[in-house]
Chain A
């Protein structure tokens, strides 16, 4: 392009020769840079060549200005000056991130600018204002130098700001992760004493004869249950945040699960004068494989909310299941006739620690995290939880989860047979042993307690047990080692089922449980 324009001033031969040399220099520069990028351990010669190329291309480009300055054609020196000034500004902006490249590429243009007035005077000694070129050139060089310094400072400030922002982001992420881990640990640690309080309160309630003492025991139990719910929510959320929440995949009776869940909420609905209607339960498949406990957790949350926020009318649960490829999509729609939600409330409903949820939680109890956890659980189960609502028109929560069709587990003996079972509890923690003992006693079981894997093996050699509740992590011989040794031996309890402690949801088959799936 430039060559075409200069054609007028310099003649075709010189112009095209210049264009060819300049194009060759640029091609060479690109080739050298490409080679350097492909070779991380490039030779010194190659690196020096790449460093020298900006200066060489500048020398070639700027050379064009000299004949222009010397040309008697009108405006040719002006054009030469403009070419050099433009090239100088260009190399400063393009190479601004690297000082050495800037100096290397700018130096030839500065030198050309300094010698240009000589060329102009030598060629046209009588031209008017030839001396004025000196001032113009000096002014231009100083201006460009100041602009380059300003640009460099601005770029440095920007880089420092970026680095500082990145450092702060990293610190904030670390702080959030540490806080999450801390919340998870505290929640976990607090649940144990609460379990002991609950078990103790239940025992007290059944043992004391006086009505006043029973009431106090009930109060302790209710408060403990409330605390456990809050802590469970916090623990669930921190697990979900950390991506450590896993869902089970085991056969369960879907119809029975729905019936049990709804039965739990009938008294609350009845107490508020609400109708709790169920539609479609009869058309559900009976046995499916999925996570029944998590499904119940989500449905409990939806039903609890629906009953909590509905003053009159009904809560309707519509249940459907449809085939989707080789799986089933189970859907539960919980619709209420309550006060409903505004668009803004709907938008903020699934935001954890939202002020709106906190206010509602303060007013109605709960952690305000239930819906957040429910939606995450629904997504973990291959589905989603959505809501549609309008103020005064009630709310409609739609839960979808994916399950698989499953066969009814064979050979299921009827009736609960746990009363009087011979249970060995192995746990190194005294509070755990005591809490499990209290819970088991409420089932009519009087367990044998062992504080270590070694002690458990001794007992297993001398006594018959039906099942063992084993803490997996213990100092010394842990649960896995103890189980391995038991299975490897030929003692009377060699094939005893082992339930890891804390207990997990029921196993998929009747085989002994050793770990969570």
Chain B
């Protein structure tokens, strides 16, 4: 399949992924 194509975006997945990564980053910074 052509790689140069538009891809679907699932807002809830995006939110979950961002929350998790940012929370982990904040926790590391706090430690």
List chain A positions with a Cβ less than 8 A from chain B. Answer: 184-185, 188-189, 191-195, 198-199, 228, 293, 410-413, 416-418, 421, 423, 428-429, 431-432, 435-436, 439-440, 442-443, 445, 466-467, 469, 471, 473-475, 497, 499, 501-507, 509-513
Whether the pair A189, B18 counts as a contact (CB closer than 8 A) is no
Across the interface, name the chain A residue whose C-beta is closest to B21.
A497
Whether the pair B5, A189 counts as a contact (CB closer than 8 A) is yes
Residue with the highest number of chain A CB atoms closer than 10 Å, among B4, B20, B26: B20
User: What 0/1 readout, one digit per residue, does chain B (12-27) give for beta carbons within 8 Å of chain A?
Assistant: 0111111111111111
> What is the CA–CA distance of A6 and B2 in the complex, to the nearest angstrom?
80
Across the interface, name the chain A residue whose C-beta is closest to B23.
A413
> What is the CA–CA distance of A74 and B7 in the complex, to the nearest angstrom?
94
Whether the pair B14, A439 counts as a contact (CB closer than 8 A) is yes
> What is the CA–CA distance of A277 and B18 in the complex, to the nearest angstrom?
33
Given known A185-B1, A188-B1, contact A501–B22 (CB-CB < 8 A): no
| Shortest Cβ gap from B3 to chain A (Å) | 3
Task: For the complex of A and B, list the 5 residue pairs with the smallest distance between their C-beta atoms, beginning with the closest.
Answer: A510-B24, A192-B6, A191-B8, A473-B3, A506-B20
Chain A residues whose C-beta falls within 8 Å of the C-beta of B8 in the assembled complex = 188, 191-192, 194-195, 228, 502
Whether the pair B19, A505 counts as a contact (CB closer than 8 A) is no
| Shortest Cβ gap from A370 to chain B (Å) | 17
Contact of B22 among A198, A418, A429, A432 (CB under 8 A): A418
Chain A residues whose C-beta falls within 8 Å of the C-beta of B21 in the assembled complex = 467, 497, 499, 506-507, 510, 512-513
Chain B residues whose C-beta falls within 8 Å of the C-beta of A467 in the assembled complex = 18, 21-22, 25
Whether the pair A510, B25 counts as a contact (CB closer than 8 A) is yes
Chain A residues whose C-beta falls within 8 Å of the C-beta of B14 in the assembled complex = 436, 439-440, 469, 503
> What is the CA–CA distance of A431 and B2 in the complex, to the nearest angstrom?
16
Whether the pair B23, A510 counts as a contact (CB closer than 8 A) is yes
| Shortest Cβ gap from B27 to chain A (Å) | 4
Chain B residues whose C-beta falls within 8 Å of the C-beta of A412 in the assembled complex = 23, 27
Chain A residues whose C-beta falls within 8 Å of the C-beta of B6 in the assembled complex = 189, 192-193, 429, 431-432, 435
> What is the CA–CA distance of A471 and B24 in the complex, to the nearest angstrom?
22
> What is the CA–CA distance of A293 and B14 in the complex, to the nearest angstrom?
13
Whether the pair A501, B7 counts as a contact (CB closer than 8 A) is yes
> What is the CA–CA distance of A410 and B1 in the complex, to the nearest angstrom?
40
| Shortest Cβ gap from A514 to chain B (Å) | 12
Whether the pair B5, A411 counts as a contact (CB closer than 8 A) is no
> What is the CA–CA distance of A513 and B22 in the complex, to the nearest angstrom?
12
Residue with the highest number of chain B CB atoms closer than 10 Å, among A428, A505, A513: A505
> What is the CA–CA distance of A463 and B21 in the complex, to the nearest angstrom?
19
